[in-house]
Amino acid sequence: MKRNNPERRKTQRLNTKFVLDFSDGLKFFQGYLLDIGPGGVQIESPEPCPKDANLTISMPFEPPLKLNGIVRWSQRSGLNYRIGLEFTGLSDEQQVRMRQIIQAFFWETYKR
């Protein structure tokens, strides 16, 4: 899917890049987290994911954080694919952890 349409994100995202594990329930994948926000993430993956697919991502923090989401868009980018994932069904605890993680990324970026 080409992303020529205007930006539709409801919240701002912070750029980052670290290894991320995710699954569609049948297969496990490893990719890179490219940006993060309270409503979702952008993933770079060697495998495509169809729009509206449900994914579970596992973020390598202590303790690890697993989140569910739905693929809102996917497009080829060189040899890989970029995937826009919107979080779904986050618990209050997961929302608090996401805010803490985003805040930590913000301060790391700010210090540079």
- pLDDT tens digits, residue range 46-89? 999 999 999 999 988 888 889 999 999 999 999 999 999 999 99
Where residue 78 falls (left for φ over 0; alpha for ψ -120 to 50; beta otherwise) is left
Tokens standing for 24? 């569609």
Superfamily of domain 14-111 in the CATH hierarchy: predicted glycosyltransferase like domains (2.40.10.220)
Q: How far apart are CA 100 and CA 81, in angstroms?
A: 28
- Domain range summary for the chain, segments of one domain joined by +: 14-111
3-class secondary-structure state, position 7:
coil
Torsion 14-102-94-10 (CA) sign = negative
Q: CB-based contacts of 78: which residues, under 8 Å, 6+ apart?
A: none
Average pLDDT rounded to a whole number, residues 2-8? 50
